[in-house]
């Protein structure tokens, strides 16, 4: 049983980064958390501090049996799920040609198909409740793709496209969807979590190679504070009229505006050719 005024959150990738910061913030906020991770023992300190309101669960989002078991465990523990946060993911950095087929497929399995599996597993209970909020952790790179980020961006672009449609499908059922688009935050994304090419190609040293160097050099010095990102996500969930998209960080907000302005200018410049393709 739960306090009827408190929400139940199911958060993937809870052991580090945004996930860990969000779990801590939600617990301090007074809500319940089903905190999932491949190594839930990394949450033992929080389980000791909040024994009544945290429920750690082992979960690999690429394993469909794990996904279903995690949702069932959440429902057994708390009877319902109010918020799903698809946070589990990591960046694969490198030129399109440099990354191996295995690297590319693993990136999609975690960042996109893992999130999709969680959404599909949670939707039946949210539809029955006629309520719920799904937060999909996208990225600045889910709107703006840069050299060296092609495959990572592709997974986030896919998540953005699916989320846009999902929001329209579930709105009449009382379910909300928000894409979170962080810029550079002080997580481990540019550290040990980052996957890079096993066999770099020298022709890409000045493009994707430089981007990898920039990411590595920025590690530990990124401007974004994960604790403040977590507070922003709670504010979104508490809102009666949450946004479809929330950019986090000045770099993300400004970069997305620049991308949209450039797209609009190009569309207008080529509009005569665009509309010349209809039958006479």
d(CA 229, CA 71): 25
pTM score: 0.94
- Is 204 among the catalytic positions? no
Question: Does domain 8-273 bear CATH number 3.40.50.720?
Answer: yes
Only one residue has tokens 């319902």, namely: 80
pLDDT per residue over 253-277, tens digit each?
999 999 999 999 999 999 999 999 9
From 156, 163, 176, 208, the catalytic residue: 156
pLDDT(249) > 60: yes
pLDDT per residue over 176-186, tens digit each?
999 999 998 88
Distant-in-sequence, close-in-space partners of 80: CB < 8 Å, separation ≥ 6:
2, 8, 125, 129
Crossing angle of the two packed helices 115-129 and 150-170, in degrees rounded to 10: 10
From 14, 117, 138, 252, the catalytic residue: 138
N-term to C-term CA, the chain: 67
Stronger pLDDT, 213 or 171, i.e. the higher one:
171
pLDDT of amino acid 190:
59
Mean pLDDT along residues 21-43: 96
pLDDT per residue over 34-91, tens digit each?
999 999 999 999 999 999 999 999 999 999 999 999 999 999 999 999 999 999 999 9
Contact 84, 67 (CB under 8 A): no
Which value, to the nearest 10 degrees, does the dihedral of the CA atoms of residues 79, 85, 90, 92 take? 120
Mean pLDDT along residues 135-142: 97
Only one residue has tokens 């139940």, namely: 8
pLDDT of amino acid 189:
64
pLDDT of amino acid 218:
81
Mean pLDDT along residues 190-200: 83
pLDDT of amino acid 35:
98
- Vertex 129: Cα angle to 126 and 132 (nearest 5): 45
From 78, 152, 163, 208, the catalytic residue: 152
- Is 152 among the catalytic positions? yes
């Amino acid at each position: 049983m739960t306090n009827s005024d408190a929400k139940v959150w199911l958060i993937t990738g809870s052991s580090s980064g945004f996930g860990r910061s969000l779990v801590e913030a939600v617990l301090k906020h007074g809500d319940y958390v089903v905190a999932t991770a491949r190594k839930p023992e990394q949450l033992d300190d929080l389980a000791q501090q909040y024994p009544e309101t945290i429920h750690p669960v082992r979960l690999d989002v690429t394993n469909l049996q794990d996904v279903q078991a995690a949702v069932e465990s959440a429902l057994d523990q708390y009877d319902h799920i109010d918020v799903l946060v698809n946070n589990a993911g990591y960046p694969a950095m490198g030129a399109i040609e440099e990354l191996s087929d295995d690297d590319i497929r693993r990136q999609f399995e975690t960042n996109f198909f893992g999130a999709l599996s969680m959404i599909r597993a949670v939707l039946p209970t949210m539809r029955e409740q006629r309520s719920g909020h799904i937060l999909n952790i996208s990225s600045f790179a889910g709107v703006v793709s840069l050299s060296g980020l092609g495959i990572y961006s592709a997974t986030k672009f896919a998540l953005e496209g699916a989320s846009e449609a999902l929001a329209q499908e579930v709105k009449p059922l009382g379910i909300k969807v928000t894409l979170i688009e962080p810029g550079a935050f002080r997580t481990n994304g540019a550290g040990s979590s980052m996957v890079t090419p096993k066999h770099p190609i020298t022709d890409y040293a000045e493009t994707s190679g430089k981007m990898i160097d920039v990411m590595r050099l920025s590690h530990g010095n990124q401007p974004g504070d994960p604790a403040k990102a977590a507070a922003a996500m709670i504010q979104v969930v508490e809102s009666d009229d949450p946004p479809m998209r929330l950019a986090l960080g000045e770099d993300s907000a400004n970069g997305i505006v620049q991308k949209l302005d450039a797209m609009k200018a190009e569309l207008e410049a080529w509009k005569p050719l665009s509309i010349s393709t209809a039958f006479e």
